[in-house]
Amino acid sequence: MPGYVIVGMQWGDEGKGKIVDYLTRQADMVVRHQGGNNAGHTVVVNVKQTILHLVPSGILHEKVTCVIGNGTVLDPAVLLDEIDMLTAGGVEVSGRLLISESAHLIMPYHKLIDKAQEKFRGKNRIGTTGRGIGPAYADKADRLGFRVGDLFDKGLFAQKLDTVLEYKNAILTRLFDEQPLDAKAVLSEFMGYAKRLRPFLADAVAVVREALGTNQRVIFEGAQGTMLDLDHGTYPYVTSSTTVAGGVCAGAGAGPQVVAGVIGIVKAYTTRVGEGPFPTEQTNDAGEKLREKGREYGATTGRPRRCGWLDVVQLRRAVGLNGLSCVVLTKPDVLGGLDPIRVCTAYEIDGTRTDEWPVSLSSLERAKPIYEDLPGWSEDISCCTRWSELPANARSYFERIEGLLGVPVAIVSVGCGRDQTIERSSPFLPAGA
């Protein structure tokens, strides 16, 4: 039962979409198991760029089945727009995209509350995308949520909507001074979604189990990154779901024994969107060069990303949390021309050196990075197709990362295109292993 988890190892935006698309050449199914449309995965094929927020990145491979699992939260309007965009671009979606009837819906009040909460927090804002993700997950835990399957019982949906809206409208009007939502208008809107979503509905757990049981290769595609995990990230500056590899079990309904490998995606430097501590952030010329050359602007919001040097202290924590089989290194081409290239190998906190990631947010905010400087390279590596073609200093940089993390670098992505990928070793187990 060969299942492979693709997980971001930093604060998201590591390039998971491209890597899922690349690896899907050798897969039968791709499953998105958490998050919502607060994450954007960018895939470039033959110079054409496709940005996906909910549909798994494997959809561009015509023989691959794509599944949106129960651990996700769905904004139906966004999903349907994405389906329309793919269809208009010649991608066959019907019969290939399946949606778990247990996935939760993002309702209109979730987005209103999300934005109002951020405004209410003021200087203590989290930096959310305002897409309603957090409030939707909160309602799931509070047993006030709507599942996709609820759309197909209009009477029950309407009855529940009346009850929930009475509560949500009270919050919107009395606490946040917002206008109340009309139940009839919301019901009409969502019944319209129901008609279009019905053909995609599935028992996703059974579908995934059948694929694994017939020895199909399944890729589990995560969103965001390890350090945005609700439990293990830089709380409260995190997302509202489980982003580490273990989240596959709950978010897709797959037992841990099906996971044959965990493939960690590491950007060759570090970026972060929104608020929260970032020890290696560079608010200087180096950070600006990384942002502009790397085009570090959010695929979902367009917000500029905060940029800094690679942080091995943070990455070692992520390696331990995810149990990595191998690393895929992305965007090292952005580092060309920077010399030296700095790598944080330890922190100094209140005068004491430490190699360990501090759990305390206040300690992390006081952490001063201790750097190791490595020689850079001036060559453009985006045209390299083999490991041997890479400049010696680039290979040394990659090998140093490998040594510091104790995990092999299997693939190096030297550009956004599908063909700009150097496979040093296979991230998959041999057939029959």
Task: Please state, in angstroms and rounded to a whole number, the distance separating the CA atoms of residues 107 and 184.
Answer: 14
29 and 64 Cβ atoms separated by less than 8 Å: yes
Tokens at residue 274, please? 């929104």
Q: How many CA atoms lie within 13 A of 180 on its CB side?
A: 14
Tokens at residue 10, please? 């930093």
Active site residues: 13, 41
Q: Which residues, listed in sequence order, are joined to residue 306 by a DSSP beta bridge?
A: 272
Residue in 45, 37, 46, 38 with CA at minimum distance from that of residue 20: 45
347 and 329 Cβ atoms separated by less than 8 Å: no
Q: How many CA atoms lie within 13 A of 395 on its CB side?
A: 10
Task: Please state, in angstroms and rounded to a whole number, the distance separating the CA atoms of residues 157 and 151.
Answer: 6
Task: Please state, in angstroms and rounded to a whole number, the distance separating the CA atoms of residues 422 and 385.
Answer: 6
Beta strand segments in 46-153, E = 48-52, 65-68, 73-74, 97-100, 104-105
Cβ neighbours, 10 Å, residue 295:
11
Residue in 24, 34, 60 with CA at minimum distance from that of residue 204: 34
In angstroms, the Cα distances linking 55 to 59, 92, 134, 207, 276 are 7, 12, 19, 16, 28
Cβ neighbours, 10 Å, residue 428:
20
Q: Which residues, listed in sequence order, are joined to residue 65 by a DSSP beta bridge?
A: 29
Q: How many residues does the chain have?
A: 433
